[in-house]
Every structure is written in C-alpha cells, then in structure tokens.
Amino acid sequence: MLYLIAKPADGRKKKKLYAEIEDRLRAEKVPHEWRLTTRKGEGAELAAACSAEADAVIVTVGGDGSLNDVLSGIRDPSSCTLGLIPAGTGNDFAEAAKIPQGLGALELILRGAPKETDYIQFSDGRRSLNIAGLGIDVDILARCEKRKHFHARSKYFLSLLSSLCHYRGMRITVRANGEEVADNMLIAAVCNGSRFGGGIPICPPAVIDDGKLEIIYAGCPKRIKIPFALIKLMKGKILDLPFAHRITCEEAELLTEAPFTAQYDGELYEAEAFRVHIARGLKMFRG
C-alpha cells in the first residue's frame, strides 16, 4: 500500500497538485490512501501507524518539516520505503536528494528504484534527514513563528533584522572524534544535507549517502561583525571565516548549559542535548 501523508490543501496550487497526484495514481491503478494532518506532530503519529504494515511505501507531500515529522514517526526506517513529493517553502532536502517538483517526483516513485539514504538519529528518538541545529537560525525561526499573519518573505526579513539586533550567541560544547570545543557560538549544525533555510548552502560538501555526519559551528563574533558572518553563511562561504569550523564524523554531541530550542529540518522542538549518530538502512525514492 502507498500512503500519502500531507497537510490539507490550503491554496489553489496545492489543490491542483493533490488532484494531479490522485488522478495519476488512479490511472496507474496504484492502491493508495491519503492521510491528512491537522496539527504539528500528527505526521509522526500517522507514519507510525502506516509503517506497522510490512513493506509500506510512505510518501510525504510537503516540505522539509513535514518530511522530518514522518521520518521521526516511522517505527523502523529499514522496514518501509520513503518517498517525497516536494510541496513546501524551501524544499532543501529535495534539492540534495535530486527529487524533482510536482508529478516528476511521483514519476520517480512509480518508476524508479529506492536508494539507501542516510539520516541523523538523535538519542531522544527524533530523526533528521537534512540539517538540525541551534543558534541564530533557531532565533530567527522562533521570531518568525510569532509573526503568523505576515507574508513568508517579509516575516523572515523582519525576524532576521530582529535577531541581528538582539542575538548574543549561545554557549555550546561540541564533542566529536575524541575532541571537544566549547565557545559562545553563532551557530552549530549537524548536517546530512547541504543546505537549509530555503537555499542557504551551509555545508556544500555534505553527501546524503556517504555514512558521515558533517558538523558546522562558528563562534559568535562582535555584534558589528554578525551581519558580515551571515552574508558569508548565505553565500555558502561560512567556512572562510577564521572562527568557523567543520568536522566530519559518524557521531557527535552538542551540549549546552540548559535545555534549548533546536530546529530539526526547520521545525522547532525543545531539547536538552544533541547526541547524534549517522544511521543507515532507510530506502528512499530519489535521484
């Protein structure tokens, strides 16, 4: 059975996409069911129920956050196959996985063969396919969530300006490969994919099937230099900065002095620590 997990269609573009998917699956006589979410976290519950069926194919119709929810809910990622039809704002993981937009993604699911794909496993049970982290990116996202009635672009811009004025860094300890670094940091991220935030290339060298994690962290500079550091980040050149570093590893810890808010593929959740390792065995339809 093919299960499609998606948010309710909330606009003309999404309604058209859902109708095209339905028409194509009926034409191909593919047994399928739609499971629509009504609240944050419900995608994980639906994925858990669907993945109880042996050899289920679970398809997320949505963005990075929806995909994260589904992946985190699957009971055993090695026992089912995951698909993605990009329908979010940024679709950063779709870019890394070479998954086309619209019906091209469905064609990949219907005609392609699933490929082994790495994911990040957290000690608290959550998972991430793309990038998880803490720091100024979380501060910006948290401010965005408070501007619910703004247009997506304007609320991000206003939140960015607010973070530039108020963010003072975060004390983070990074442990990996037997080494430890503690500093007041601008950002710290655990990467499987290469970009986040709707196209920001935070870690261009990251590969989604190499069995490795990439850790990116940067010390927090003086306030006057933070805009310059963010420009470097958005251009994919943060590692050009002398206070920015990259670690390639298979497991790592990112620790703070108190519980914190973290972003998992763009979704905000409370956490007490990042204890992570790269996990394999997930089969996914991708390019």
Domain boundaries, the chain: 2-112, 131-277
Q: Given pLDDT bands bounded at 50, 70 and 90, which one contains residue 45?
A: very high
Mean pLDDT of 46-66: 95
Neighbours of 20 (CB within 10 A): 13
Question: Nearest CA to 106 among 169, 181, 28, 161?
Answer: 28
| Portion of the chain with pLDDT greater than 90, in percent | 79
The pLDDT value recorded for residue 114 is 97
Contact (Cβ atoms closer than 8 angstroms) between residue 238 and residue 195? no
Question: 218 - beta bridge partners?
Answer: 187, 244
Task: Residues 2-112: name the CATH superfamily.
Answer: Probable inorganic polyphosphate/atp-NAD kinase; domain 1 (3.40.50.10330)
The pLDDT value recorded for residue 152 is 63
The pLDDT value recorded for residue 144 is 84
Enter the pTM of the model: 0.92
Question: Nearest CA to 62 among 40, 43, 87, 36?
Answer: 87
Q: Which fold has domain 131-277?
A: Tumour Suppressor Smad4 (2.60.200)
Helices (DSSP H) in 175-225: which residue ranges?
none
| Residue 94 pLDDT exceeds 70 | yes
Contact (Cβ atoms closer than 8 angstroms) between residue 202 and residue 236? yes
- E strand spans, the chain: 2-6, 32-36, 57-62, 81-86, 115-122, 127-128, 131-135, 170-176, 179-191, 213-219, 244-249, 251-256, 260-264, 267-271, 274-284
Q: Given pLDDT bands bounded at 50, 70 and 90, which one contains residue 161?
A: confident
Mean pLDDT of 47-56: 93
